[in-house]
Structure formats: structure tokens, C-alpha cells
């Protein structure tokens, strides 16, 4: 499915959910195996409300997973469209994935293990 030796695809589901995922295996009309699935969530820019750009955060689609690299199965019947994301989006996906994985690895035993905090001042993915 993925072109130009890229397995990262942007998927929009019938319910409107949009994700970026690393496609491992795609059997048309049967199943899709993917990992590192991050949901794209639009957020408002409260500091610049007149800005016409849309901002997104990327977060794991499935919460409380212990390893984003584990294979997940996607029902192809739930997909509206699939596209290859732009280089900018792939770069942001890659850096967000690394940050999330590092935060998951850095959990200490003194507190909850299912909570990952992020620096809110990090650059958000934008739609220009």
C-alpha cells in the first residue's frame, strides 16, 4: 500500500478519526496490521485566535498501551481514505513518536505508570 518505500500512512476513519500509522501488512478487504498509531487531534490556538492555521497534537490512538511498536489490527471496512502524508507531517510524527516512547521509558516506580506528561510549549503540528 505505501509508496516510495514509506510505510507511514495517514488514515481517516468513517467516524472522522484521523491517524498516522506505520503499516506493517495490508491485505485488501481483510485486515491491516499497523503499529506506532498516533491520533491527530485538532487544537485551538488560544494565543492567536485570528490565525487561520489549524494545529494538531499527536497522541497514541490506544491509551494505556505498554509498547506502541506492538502490532494492532485495523478493520479496512472502517476506513474512509488513506494517503501518504507530507514530509513535514512525517517528520513531526517521527519526533512525536520518539518523544512519547522516551516518556514511556522514563517512568519511575514512585508514581502512576500509565501517565505520560509532555512539555506544553513544544511546537504543535500545523496545517499551513
Q: What is the pLDDT of residues 47-60, one digit of tens each?
A: 776 777 778 899 99
Residues 6+ apart with CB under 8 A from 18: 10, 11, 12, 39, 40
Per-residue model confidence (pLDDT) at position 103: 84
The mean pLDDT value for 62-79 works out to 89
Three cell numbers written together for 83 = 494517503
Average pLDDT, the chain: 82
Per-residue model confidence (pLDDT) at position 3: 42
pLDDT at 122 over 50: yes
Amino acid at each position: 500500500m505505501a509508496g516510495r518505500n514509506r510505510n507511514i500512512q495517514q488514515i481517516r476513519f468513517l467516524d472522522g478519526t484521523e491517524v498516522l500509522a506505520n503499516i506493517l501488512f495490508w491485505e485488501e478487504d481483510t485486515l491491516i496490521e499497523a503499529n506506532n498509531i498516533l491520533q491527530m487531534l485538532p487544537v485551538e490556538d488560544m494565543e492567536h485566535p485570528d490565525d487561520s492555521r489549524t494545529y494538531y497534537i499527536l497522541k497514541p490512538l490506544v491509551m494505556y498501551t505498554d509498547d506502541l511498536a506492538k502490532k494492532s489490527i485495523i478493520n479496512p471496512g472502517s476506513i474512509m481514505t488513506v494517503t501518504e502524508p507530507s514530509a513535514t507531517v512525517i517528520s513531526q510524527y517521527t519526533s512525536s513518536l520518539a518523544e512519547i516512547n522516551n516518556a514511556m521509558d522514563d517512568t519511575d516506580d514512585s508514581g502512576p505508570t500509565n501517565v505520560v506528561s509532555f512539555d506544553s510549549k513544544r511546537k504543535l503540528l500545523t496545517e499551513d
